[in-house]
Structure 1
Amino acid sequence: MNNYHVAVDIGASSGRLILADLSQNKLDLKEVHRFKNGFIFSAGHDRWNVTELFNQIIVGLEKVKKLGITNCIIGIDTWAVDYVLLDEDDQLLVEPVAYRDSRTNGAMAKVFEKVPKEIVYEKTGIQFLNFNTIFQYVSEDAELLSKATSSLLIPDYLAFRLTGKKCCEVTNASTTQLLNITDRDFDKELLEVVGLKKELLADLIESGTVIGDLREELMATHDLPECTVVAVGTHDTASAVVGVPATTDNWAYISSGTWSLIGVENQEPVVTKEALEANYTNEWGAYHTYRFLKNITGMWAVQEIARHLNYQYTYSEMAEQAYQVESFLQYVDLNDNRFTNPDNMIAEIQAYCRERGQIVPETVGELTMCVYSNLALIYAHEWKRLEQLTGRTLDVLHIVGGGSNVELLNQLTADVIGKKVVAGPDEATAIGNLLVQMITYSRMQNLKEARQWLAKEIDLKVYEPQPIADRDHLKKFEEMTVSKDYNKM
């Protein structure tokens, strides 16, 4: 049995290779390589440099070999929706366009002229975001698309460069908004709408499928360990949800970072009028599950406050000062578009409060407490909405990712929802990536067993709900901020 597993985890700003040594059946993790990522404006669009990302994976694997490791298993996860176009020689036609590029402006309307929005949701169960792959393909340069003989999503392309084998792993493929949840295949009508031939797309595979070994050419030109590539939850959120150490049945999760993704894991999709109106999505998860979730704001406001204060305070110092301030003094909808990318987050929050006759936060402690109090209320609002949409009573909220380290927010959230919050791990994405590899190679029998093992392996912090003076904060927040447009961001 191979004791060494590598999680290749690439986000929008950085990537890293995490090595797991499982020789003692313990989760012994080591970051062996970290590198920067980001898009640049090139050839008329914002583009990713996936060629360099692949090169950095090779550099990382060379470092693994230098540690004396001659054989390992690899899984790759990245962000969703973006894709490459390859020519008849399987070479990049051009570096891929990034999802934040403006080319998809107006693309939704083009699709809805041919297929109504409600039908698209009924077919796919996926929330509408203007950068979903369906709208990117509609916006693609027609001449360039005509030259393509295949198209792969980013993690599938990186796996192809390693192994020479093309595939399309389902957790990421579902975010294209081109998969039919009933047929569990690409929807023929939607492919026709975007002018895409199915022959351009690789065959769908499930998480946990073994893709193959490293290409002989790579082994001959680089000093690499012998590696087998496994399709994990290639969408990073899918891996993060696998990495939730849940041991009960009725739990929800928040994958917490710059954005927060709040949801539940379902065995069946929820494709109802109410789910559409609430802007919830049914992304496919590992092992035939569905991630019924919503993208909402996260640590962005605090990050921007720190930036505008020239980082004179660490996030921990900001939280320490917030502890000296009363909570829930303001009700602020941080999902409002005005907070998406303001010139000055501090001034924007202050203006919002001033316009509504609320107490205006001035100090760093007051601003930080304002943000965390309202994040907790937003989480509570969506917690209630999740119970309504799923018809379930939820017992515990698991917070994973970098935001799980924010103790103040964790406690405020437990207080407002009135339920236990379990925080950790902050490395949920990489760990989820590794867990799928472990299940594939029979170290664990299934996802339930893997999560139970994980819960024993890592340090988790539990936050029990504490009494708060006013239990009507959520009601007041909803009355003052949740407009008819709240769910349509």
Structure 2
Amino acid sequence: MSLLRLQQGQPQIQVMHRFPNGPIATQDGLRWDIGRIFDGVKDGLRLCADAAPEGIASVGVDGWAVDYVRLDENGEALADPFCHRDERTQGAEKKVHEIISPSRLYSLTGIQLLGLNTLYQLYADKLAGGRPGTFWLNLPEYVTYRLGGRRVAEYTNATHTQLVGLGGQEWCEEIFESLGLDISAAPKIVPSGSIVGSIGGDLSKLPALRGTKLIVPACHDTASAIAAIPASGEDWAFISSGTWSLVGTVLKSPCVGDQAREMNFTNLGGAGRSICFLKNVNGMWLLRQCMDEWEERGSAISLSALLQECEALPAPDYLIDVDDPPLTRPGGTLGKINAQLQRAGRRTFSAERRNIPVIANLIFHGMAERYAEVLRSIATITAKRLKRLFIVGGGGKNFLLNRLTAERTGLEVLLGSTESTTLGNFAIQMATLQGSWNETTGVAASAVARWAEEIAEPVFEEARNRETV
């Protein structure tokens, strides 16, 4: 959690609080401890209130997409929410496509077919006998609601559910009706930058949080990160690099032609009603899974040490498919990589310490090549002549992957802040507080861009000075 203050007109950002978070394997599936997450948010807000006794104008919550909390009749969480990596959606995806064809789904929503999307999770709930009509909220909006806000679905986050009509701000009735899902259980969609209430409960007793507005930024963290990129023109693309790598470009309207559908690109909502035309690529989560396995086997290694060892290795003579479906699910990742190598008739690797950098090198080269493939497809589909590639998010700290990406794409790579989501979140809040908001488009894209440049450009400049790729 971060705090933005303007000191003599200059933006200053301070990270106030972090807490670990991850899905928990339970007898009822892979779930998030939502109570612990909310307690962590409240702890962070108390620290912000102590640091800013002059008062905090607004709070905005963003996070990962697709997962949601079911509410009871009193507005309380029925249970800890499922994690999108839980295996329950595998059967649901097939059954959904028996009712609505993949091509029809794409024409209705423009969203890539991913079994983790909210659409398939809601249908999995139905197959499991879930109570119909139970209200639900995506996670960032749930936290906002618990802080005192209204029950809403912010536009950018709503589009990732695969339940919003193409290019609009309404739920797609055809999908809900065809699948027998209750549309009345879905929250009202509101534009990015909407003020949805004020801090309530015990936090409102803190002087700094009295009357503090609750603003939904781009609640999908990727959309907030993209909003922070201080770029203009049509010659740039982005990689929001984290657990997932989201590779794409920004468009003014959805792109849903045959090529986009066949290549399974998505048209996610962006700040100011822009379109983030992108594709999910398995990200740093893949390496994290391997590092956890190595640690369990007594061979723990830091990322910095691993990168140094990998840098001394030559390029592998074979590239793994980092988007191989088994590699997107938790557990046994080293074995899954070896299984892929074995199917291709390639050498497999034991768990010995000497093989750790070799496996990591396979992952990094595989990721860079996948980035290049996706970017070539984007250039073909959109007819854009891409020259610049902005890398934002925590994965931007991986200097080796950045270099490999530059080599394989041939683009000028510009490194942004590892906290780009925070910067975009702030830019949207500032634009709203300055009056650049309306009920149709939400916060104005031009105003967000101005604030993003003011807040983010020094950070991008600092990144360029640290390292040139």
Q: TM-score band (shorter)?
A: 0.7 to 0.9
Match of 1:313 in 2: 301
Q: How big is each residue's C-alpha offset from its partner over 1:392-447, in whole Å with a ceiling of 9 and x where there is no partner?
A: 11110111111111222212221222220011211111111111112112399523
Given residue 177 of structure 2, which amino acid in structure 1 is its aligned partner?
E
Report SS of the residue matched to 1:165. Answer: coil
Q: d(CA) in 2 for partners of 1:88 and 1:94?
A: 13
Tell me which of 209, 213, 225 is aligned to 2:209. Answer: 225
Tell whether 2:7 aligns with 1:18.
Answer: no
Given residue 352 of structure 1, which amino acid in structure 2 is its aligned partner?
L
Q: How big is each residue's C-alpha offset from its partner over 1:123-157, in whole Å with a ceiling of 9 and x where there is no partner?
A: 00111112211122222258653363x32222112
CA deviation after TM superposition for structure 1 residue 252, in Å: 0.6
Q: d(CA) in 1 for partners of 2:122 and 2:336?
A: 38
CA deviation after TM superposition for structure 1 residue 88, in Å: 3.1
Tell me which of 286, 291, 294 is aligned to 2:279. Answer: 294
8 Å Cα contact 2:53/2:208 also seen in 1: no
Tell me which of 404, 413, 417 is aligned to 1:421. Answer: 413
Tell whether 2:316 aligns with 1:331.
Answer: no
Tell whether 2:428 aligns with 1:436.
Answer: yes
8 Å Cα contact 1:62/1:224 also seen in 2: no
8 Å Cα contact 1:240/1:428 also seen in 2: yes
Given residue 451 of structure 2, which amino acid in structure 1 is its aligned partner?
A
Tell me which of 388, 395, 406 is aligned to 2:380. Answer: 388
Tell me which of 33, 52, 60 is aligned to 2:44. Answer: 60
Report % sequence identity: 30
Match of 1:263 in 2: 248
Q: What pairs up with 1:128-143 in 2 under 5 angstroms?
A: 128-141=113-126
Please say which of residues 276-285 and 352-361 is displaced more in the overlay. Answer: 352-361
Report SS of the residue matched to 1:325. Answer: coil
Tell whether 2:174 aligns with 1:186.
Answer: no
Given residue 314 of structure 1, which amino acid in structure 2 is its aligned partner?
S
Q: d(CA) in 2 for partners of 1:363 and 1:54?
A: 40
CA deviation after TM superposition for structure 1 residue 223, in Å: 6.8
Match of 2:157 in 1: 172
Tell me which of 6, 15, 19 is aligned to 1:35. Answer: 19
Q: d(CA) in 1 for partners of 2:356 and 2:102?
A: 43
Query: What TM-score, normalized to structure 2?
Result: 0.86
Match of 2:440 in 1: none
Q: 1:88 to 1:65 in 2, by over 3 A?
A: same
Tell whether 2:76 aligns with 1:75.
Answer: no
Q: 1:66 to 1:204 in 2, by over 3 A?
A: same
Q: How big is each residue's C-alpha offset from its partner over 1:444-488, in whole Å with a ceiling of 9 and x where there is no partner?
A: 9523323432453211228777xxxxxxxxxxxxxxxxxxxxxxx
Q: How big is each residue's C-alpha offset from its partner over 1:7-58, in whole Å with a ceiling of 9 and x where there is no partner?
A: xxxxxxxxxx111222233342222222233333567343323233223222
Report SS of the residue matched to 2:17. Answer: strand
Q: 1:391 to 1:464 in 2, by over 3 A?
A: farther
CA deviation after TM superposition for structure 1 residue 217, in Å: 5.9
Match of 2:93 in 1: 108
Tell whether 2:237 aligns with 1:274.
Answer: no
Q: 1:332 to 1:143 in 2, by over 3 A?
A: closer
CA deviation after TM superposition for structure 1 residue 235, in Å: 0.9
Match of 2:132 in 1: 146
Please say which of residues 372-381 and 211-220 is displaced more in the overlay. Answer: 211-220
Given residue 102 of structure 1, which amino acid in structure 2 is its aligned partner?
E
Tell me which of 185, 195, 198 is aligned to 1:210. Answer: 195
Aligned length: 447
Match of 2:441 in 1: none
8 Å Cα contact 1:207/1:286 also seen in 2: yes
8 Å Cα contact 1:331/1:374 also seen in 2: yes
Tell whether 2:245 aligns with 1:246.
Answer: no
Unaligned runs of 5+ in 1: 1-16, 466-489
Match of 1:485 in 2: none
Q: d(CA) in 2 for partners of 1:342 and 1:103?
A: 16
Match of 1:461 in 2: 464
Match of 1:372 in 2: 364
Q: Provide the aligned C-alpha RMSD in A.
A: 2.9
Match of 1:487 in 2: none
Q: 1:382 to 1:223 in 2, by over 3 A?
A: same
8 Å Cα contact 1:334/1:375 also seen in 2: yes
Given residue 20 of structure 1, which amino acid in structure 2 is its aligned partner?
L
Q: d(CA) in 1 for partners of 2:17 and 2:305?
A: 29
Q: 1:271 to 1:201 in 2, by over 3 A?
A: same
Unaligned runs of 5+ in 2: 437-445
Tell whether 2:32 aligns with 1:44.
Answer: no
CA deviation after TM superposition for structure 1 residue 338, in Å: 5.1
Match of 1:452 in 2: 453
8 Å Cα contact 1:230/1:437 also seen in 2: yes
Q: 1:217 to 1:334 in 2, by over 3 A?
A: closer
Given residue 419 of structure 1, which amino acid in structure 2 is its aligned partner?
L
8 Å Cα contact 2:138/2:153 also seen in 1: yes
Q: How big is each residue's C-alpha offset from its partner over 1:248-298, in whole Å with a ceiling of 9 and x where there is no partner?
A: 432111111232110111111111221121111111111101111111122
Q: 1:234 to 1:358 in 2, by over 3 A?
A: same
